[in-house]
Structure 1
Amino acid sequence: MLLRSILTQVKQLIPPLDGSLHKGQSGRVGVLGGALDYTGAPYFAAISALRFGADLSHVICSPTAASAIKAYSPDLIVHPILRADASPEQVSPELKSLLARLHVLVIGPGLGREPYMQAFAKLALSLARAQGMFVVLDADALWMVGQDVALIKGYRRAVVTPNVAEFARLSDQVGIDPGAPADQRAGLLSRALGGVTVLQKGATDIISVDTTGDAADLEARLPGADPAKEKAQETVEVDVEGGLKRCGGQGDVLSGTVGALLAWAKCYEDGVFGDKSIPASRYPLLAAAGASIVTRTASRRAFFKEGRGVVTQDMLPEIGKSFAEVFGEDAQGQDKGKL
């Protein structure tokens, strides 16, 4: 019942497909990552955002990765501005201008741990926070956060998407008791990060956000509730069936789809569509839940077709179909009887 209620709210963040919106008003997503050895991850994140329904998808990467990413798809807008021989101060004006045109920034796919790429990721996160952007952090952006939790602590417009190993490492870095109940650890991590939404990937995806002091979020979840008597956390478990083969790159698909939903949430927040009845404090959790369900569904559909040999590339054509399966054909703008 809780998941059904969550999906009802997610549907309010989906832009209408009735011809009323212009290019870019259904989401402009940025993915920052992509160094010499890592070109697939930013591609999968960026193209998944488009397959989910975002209008425009940008990849901000190093020049060594740009040609490969461009060759993967002409639909992506590639910015090879993260040069190893440039300082963050030199890149900052161009990066700041670029971020001002986006609704959300996904940091981490293919980022790597080279000092220059990590420095640019820190710069991008700082600029995004200053501009009030929604952000998604995955892969080596989580390693970056673990080195300095202050980079993200208290920024409630952020979602982190750790896998099993990343979750264990980050939990240890912020001092979470490893003996804590497994179903409570995501909430404890969210609390340690100051209310950042945590999407803990696993056999069941656990999404949790610490809502301490967030009266608007409580009212949206439980109208008329007494804050003093309610838990200061919200946790959603997504056990929707996925594929039986966990191929590398599926996490990048997830970060891209979370980014697409957050881009829509920003458009909703700006009044481009919808009635703005959902408070902004709920957008990260709703985006994480909706994206988790669609990504797991795409994984299942791809595995059904390809079996043991499934690869991440096989998931891409299934994203739109999975979106329709989860949210209904009407959310795709396809009324019955019409094509």
Structure 2
Amino acid sequence: MPVPDSILDQLKLLIPPLDGTLHKGQSGRVGVLGGALDYTGAPYFAIISALRFGADGAHVICSPTAGGVIKSYSPDLVVHPILREDSTLEQVKPELKSLLSRLHSLVIGPGLGREPYMQSFAKLALTLARAQGMFVVLDADALWMVGQDLVLIKGYRRAVLTPNVVEFKRLCDQIGMNPEIPAGERASLISKELGGVTVLQKGARDIISIDTTGDTADLSTSHLQGASEEREKTKETIEIDVQGGMKRCGGQGDVLSGCVGAVLAWGKCYEEGAYGDGTVPPSRVPLLAAVGGSIVTRTTNKRAFSKQGRGTVTADMIPEISLAFEEMLGSGQN
């Protein structure tokens, strides 16, 4: 089933115009929190994908053991190696809070790992992001983190979860889902149980669901514009059947999270009035970001596979992102 034209039309409204009217930063500053001793590739793939998608600024928040390596991958990245194992949360909090205040979206999880100190910093970042009204993506070990304490994310409708098959099954178990629930309805049920968080279930066909028919939305913070809009009951599922390649790369999920993060950053810039007519409500941005990230990532993989075949690796996908974007969404010169 193709993506409805109404969804694509809304998504295109979030794309920053290429007409010379915007200044540096108004096409979105994206942050990725992740990267420890053994995990440097994942945060790099996520953040470079956000740049290739069209974001303006790229920041990686990581441990000192990973910072130098990640920085060496590209001079386009701003790397903040502030997540020290021997630092307390109170020591890191002021700098992390200041850094997040300069970003438009945050991707938590690529290369995060499960070491207690990294998990603690990720929880802190998510808490700060919620307080600031940031759009966030949760992937990889950030999904494991929230699974241990669902309250961390419950009701925060500015979040997108991007679970793969294993992570999705774990989420189903953690919310106590009845195994007899049809497979096509499970993403929607997870969204409902988590208070309207957008779920992007990765698979042969990506399933994107949002169900805000519950009563657990985070409506107490000032960043949520229009309480009546946020209280509106919505249930929506979109199945993405855009063809990908025949070889799924190990880092393709990181590419996806970076692409979703880029659209979320655009959504924040759009919400703040940097461009656009303001007709797309903030409550639609996570769903639109999930759709945009999915269709472009799948097309990126298809393009890379057509050139490299069985030997396709994630690095082959990066140069194809901007071309896949134009193929699916146009040049953006609106």
Is this a same-fold pair by TM over 0.5?
yes
Instruction: Confirm or deny that 1:286 pairs with 2:302.
Output: no
Letter in 2 for 1:185: R
Instruction: Confirm or deny that 1:164 pairs with 2:165.
Output: yes
Q: Cα distance, 1:217 vs. partner?
A: 7.3
The TM-score, its normalising length taken from structure 2, stands at: 0.94
Letter in 1 for 2:123: K
- Structure 2 residue matching 1:29: 3-state secondary structure: strand
Deviations 1:284-326 (A, max 9, x none): 0000001100000000000000000000000000000000000
Deviations 1:162-208 (A, max 9, x none): 00000000110011112211110000000111100000000000000
Deviations 1:226-248 (A, max 9, x none): x7xxxx41001101000111110
Letter in 2 for 1:62: S
Letter in 1 for 2:181: A
The TM-score, its normalising length taken from structure 1, stands at: 0.92
Instruction: Confirm or deny that 1:306 pairs with 2:320.
Output: no
Is the CA contact 1:267–1:273 (under 8 Å) kept in the aligned structure 2? yes
Residue 329 of structure 2 aligns with which residue? Answer: 327
Deviations 1:12-43 (A, max 9, x none): 00000011000000000000000000000000
Q: Cα distance, 1:4 vs. partner?
A: 2.2
Is the CA contact 1:217–1:282 (under 8 Å) kept in the aligned structure 2? no
Instruction: Confirm or deny that 1:269 pairs with 2:275.
Output: no
Q: Cα distance, 1:215 vs. partner?
A: 6.3
Is the CA contact 2:104–2:135 (under 8 Å) kept in the aligned structure 1? yes
Deviations 1:90-121 (A, max 9, x none): 00000000000000010000000000000000
Letter in 1 for 2:195: G
Instruction: Confirm or deny that 1:138 pairs with 2:142.
Output: no
Residue 299 of structure 2 aligns with which residue? Answer: 297
Is the CA contact 1:217–1:279 (under 8 Å) kept in the aligned structure 2? no
- Structure 1 residue matching 2:316: 3-state secondary structure: helix
Which segments of 5 or more consecutive residues in structure 2 lack a partner in the other structure? 216-226
Residue 316 of structure 1 aligns with which residue? Answer: 318
Is the CA contact 1:211–1:234 (under 8 Å) kept in the aligned structure 2? no
Residue 52 of structure 2 aligns with which residue? Answer: 51
- Structure 1 residue matching 2:292: 3-state secondary structure: helix
Residue 127 of structure 1 aligns with which residue? Answer: 128
- Rounded to whole Å, the distance in 1 between the matches of 2:241 and 2:228 is 28
Is the CA contact 1:243–1:301 (under 8 Å) kept in the aligned structure 2? yes
- Rounded to whole Å, the distance in 2 between the matches of 1:308 and 1:125 is 38
- Structure 2 residue matching 1:207: 3-state secondary structure: strand
- Rounded to whole Å, the distance in 2 between the matches of 1:165 and 1:248 is 14
- Structure 1 residue matching 2:4: 3-state secondary structure: helix
Is the CA contact 2:46–2:257 (under 8 Å) kept in the aligned structure 1? yes
Instruction: Confirm or deny that 1:241 pairs with 2:216.
Output: no
Is the CA contact 2:195–2:212 (under 8 Å) kept in the aligned structure 1? no
Q: Cα distance, 1:2 vs. partner?
A: 4.8
Residue 77 of structure 2 aligns with which residue? Answer: 76
Matched residues, number = 321
- Rounded to whole Å, the distance in 1 between the matches of 2:139 and 2:179 is 22
Deviations 1:33-90 (A, max 9, x none): 0000000000000000000000001000000001110111110000000000001110
Identity level (%): 73
Is the CA contact 2:35–2:110 (under 8 Å) kept in the aligned structure 1? yes
- Rounded to whole Å, the distance in 2 between the matches of 1:211 and 1:304 is 40
- Rounded to whole Å, the distance in 1 between the matches of 2:230 and 2:16 is 22
Q: Cα distance, 1:218 vs. partner?
A: 10
Is the CA contact 2:40–2:70 (under 8 Å) kept in the aligned structure 1? yes
Q: Cα distance, 1:216 vs. partner?
A: 3.6
- Rounded to whole Å, the distance in 1 between the matches of 2:231 and 2:16 is 25
- Rounded to whole Å, the distance in 1 between the matches of 2:93 and 2:54 is 29
- Rounded to whole Å, the distance in 2 between the matches of 1:180 and 1:243 is 30
Is the CA contact 1:45–1:252 (under 8 Å) kept in the aligned structure 2? yes
Residue 222 of structure 1 aligns with which residue? Answer: none
- Rounded to whole Å, the distance in 2 between the matches of 1:248 and 1:4 is 31
- Rounded to whole Å, the distance in 1 between the matches of 2:230 and 2:63 is 39
- Structure 2 residue matching 1:30: 3-state secondary structure: strand
Deviations 1:131-178 (A, max 9, x none): 011110000000000000000000000000000000000110011112
Residue 185 of structure 2 aligns with which residue? Answer: 184
- Rounded to whole Å, the distance in 2 between the matches of 1:58 and 1:168 is 31
- Rounded to whole Å, the distance in 2 between the matches of 1:40 and 1:34 is 8
